[in-house]
Every structure is written in C-alpha cells, then in structure tokens.
Amino acid sequence: MKRLSRLFLFAATVIIFCQAGFIHASTTFKLATVTPPHHAYNEGAREFARLVHERTGGEVVVKVYAGGQLGKGERELLEGLQVGTIDMAVTSTGPVSNFTPDFAVLDLPFLFVSNTHVDRVLDGDVGTELLGKLESSGIKGLAFMENGFRNFTNSVRPLVQPGDFKGLKFRTMENPVHLAAVRQLGAKAIPMSWGEVYTALQTSVIDGQENPVAIVHSTKLNEVQKYLTLSGHFYSPAMLTMGLRKFRGLAPDLQRILIDAAVAAAVFEREVIRENEARQVEELKDWGMDVRGVDKEVFVRAMEPVYDKFVGANPHWKSVVERILTQK
C-alpha cells in the first residue's frame, strides 16, 4: 500500500510539473542562418539566445549555426523548420512567398520610405497579421528583424537610370515580385541560392546581384563587384521563426519567453544594422567600390507596372498597401 501511495504521489508530481510548464534542463534549440557569423542576423540570433538563457535561468539553450551550416539556402532552412530538422531560423522574407504568398506584399518596390516607417508597420497590426499567416505553412513567426533596404551591385557599369540595367544579368531570390521588378528594368533576373552567388559573380555567370549594404560588406562582394548603386529599391525584412509543431509542443510559459525574447532581440538587431550601414558604405568605398545614388522618383515611376500586375492579381493586397502607405 505504501509503495502504491509513493507511486501515486510521484505520478501526481510529474503531472503538476508538466501542467505548470516547468522547463527541462535538456531543452536545446538549433537556430540556423545562411549569413556569415559577423552579420547582424547572427548578432540578433546570439542576443536572442542570451535572453532566452537569462530568462529561463540557463535551462534552455539556443545554439546558433551561422554561415549555412544547417542549409546553404534560406528556402532549405524554412523547409527544415517544417519537417523539424531545424528548430529556428533567421531568414529574409524573399523565399517566404513560396510558402505564404501574401508575404510578397512586403516585397513591392519602393513600398517603404524610411526606417521609422518600417518600424511602424512591422511592429504594428500589419506585421502581426503577416507573421500569423505563416502558421498555415507550419512555421511560427516570432518577430521581425531586418536585412535593410536592398541595393544593386554589378561588375559592368554604374547604374543611375533605369535604362542602365538593360541586358545585365542579376541574381535575385526566388521571389515573384523581385523577379518581375528586375525584369521591368530590362535586366535578366536569375533566381539562385545565396551559397552559389559569390562564385557566379566571380566567374561572370551573372553580372550583379541586389542586397542590403550589410550583406555586400559582410560577404566582401567588393572583391567581385565594382559598382554599388544605393537604390533602396526593396526593403528586406528578416524573420526569426520556429517550426510550428515544435512551438506548439512547448509549455505556454516557455512560448511566452521565446516570443518576448524574440521581440527584444529584433529591436537590438535592427539597431545594429542601421548603426553599421554608414560605416560599411565608407569602408566599401575605401575597398575600391564605386558608390552612387539614384533619383528614386524616376525608378518609382518605372515600377508602376509591377504594382499593376501584383495588386491586380491579388486585390486584397490593395488595402494592405494602403495601410502601409498611410503610416509613412
């Protein structure tokens, strides 16, 4: 009888601990990126790991795997979240439209005008709604970090007017809006995994690519690209995400810790990106890049057919675009 009582007490204690959401010391999450360790994605990921460690008393560990250790392309990372081979990831939103098409509304050219505008949208209702849409693809959106405003680089000539793009071959992400926008400028858009880009530029398989300054700087594209055009044609959010099945399997208290830590780490990461950009542009000039700005209004007019195409095909985007534009 005493033995049965002890077993009953033990079982009841286990149930209480589980219902209370106590965290086990063996909990470890793998967080992957494709960017070099010193890129801001990974600084944000490490800050997230630090906050989770601190807020769980060291009982939860987030291990950051940078530089494509767990997958060379961002689509591969997102697929890893779906099947559970990766727990968490920081990726750009570029490939996300292949999983959740409505995310592509953020990729419309020249949609955002400033960092303040970005923060109002991503930290507000529009951002929350878009993160929620990821769940239909088996992905939990925790928070928006950023990659920043995207710019063109190439090895052929300066790009100042839309006509300067004609005939050049540019790598883009596998993203319908990005592909259409680059083609609208008269260039050839070639979707390619990021892990292949440096070699493709080096061997002139492609003439150029488009990415934020932080990526150009951290991957030393100045070694294979002469010209940097500060076009700011797309704004590139980044997402801290988790496999939905794994997230839902956690106790509610741990879910809350992860979300709160992700939001705090996202604020930290955006600050890192923005504080570094001016310095990085100057360093790229020092390293031999020809850096030029553009008259954005000329490019905005050139992109009108892209809006007509995608908003026309997705009429519900119209209200989202209007909500974004009213928050300038």
Which H, E and C letters describe 166-221, residue by residue?
A: CCCEEEECCCHHHHHHHHHCCCEEEECCHHHHHHHHHCCCCCEEEEEHHHHHHCCH
Q: Directed axis angle between helix 40-55 and helix 252-286, to 10°?
A: 150
Length of the chain: 328
Looking at residue 84, its amino acid is: G
Provide the residue-wise pLDDT of the chain in tens; the chain has 328 residues: 444 444 444 344 334 334 444 445 459 999 999 998 989 999 999 999 999 999 999 999 999 999 999 998 899 999 999 999 999 999 988 788 889 989 999 999 999 999 999 999 999 999 999 999 999 999 999 999 998 999 999 999 999 999 999 999 999 988 889 999 999 999 999 999 888 999 999 999 999 999 999 899 989 999 999 999 999 999 999 999 999 999 999 999 999 999 999 999 999 999 999 999 999 999 999 999 999 999 999 999 999 999 999 999 999 999 999 999 999 9
With the C-alpha atoms ordered 306, 216, 81, 119, is the resulting torsion angle positive or negative?
Answer: negative
d(CA 157, CA 207): 10
- Burial-class residue 6 by CB neighbours within 10 Å (0-12, 13-18, 19+): exposed
pLDDT for the residue numbered 26: 59
Dump the DSSP string for 35-95: S-TTSHHHHHHHHHHHHHHHHTTT-EEEEEE-TTTT-SSHHHHHHHHHHTS-SEEEEESGG
Q: Are 320 and 104 in contact (CB under 8 A)?
A: no
Structure tokens that stand for 147 in this block: 């990659």
d(CA 275, CA 320): 29
Q: Directed axis angle between helix 304-313 and helix 317-325, to 10°?
A: 130
Beta-carbon neighbour count of residue 30 at 10 Å? 17
Structure tokens that stand for 194 in this block: 């990021």
Q: SS3 of 274, please?
A: helix
Query: Which single residue is written with the structure tokens 């570094």?
Result: 276
Instruction: Provide φ and ψ at 293, rounded to 5°.
Output: -95, 180
Cα angle: 168, vertex 169, 171; to 5 degrees: 140
H or E stretch covering 133? helix 125-133
pTM: 0.83
Beta-carbon neighbour count of residue 111 at 10 Å? 21
d(CA 301, CA 124): 28
pLDDT for the residue numbered 9: 40
Query: Which single residue is written with the structure tokens 């409505």?
Result: 102
Q: Are 262 and 115 in contact (CB under 8 A)?
A: no
H or E stretch covering 269? helix 252-286
Q: Are 219 and 95 in contact (CB under 8 A)?
A: no
Beta-carbon neighbour count of residue 153 at 10 Å? 27
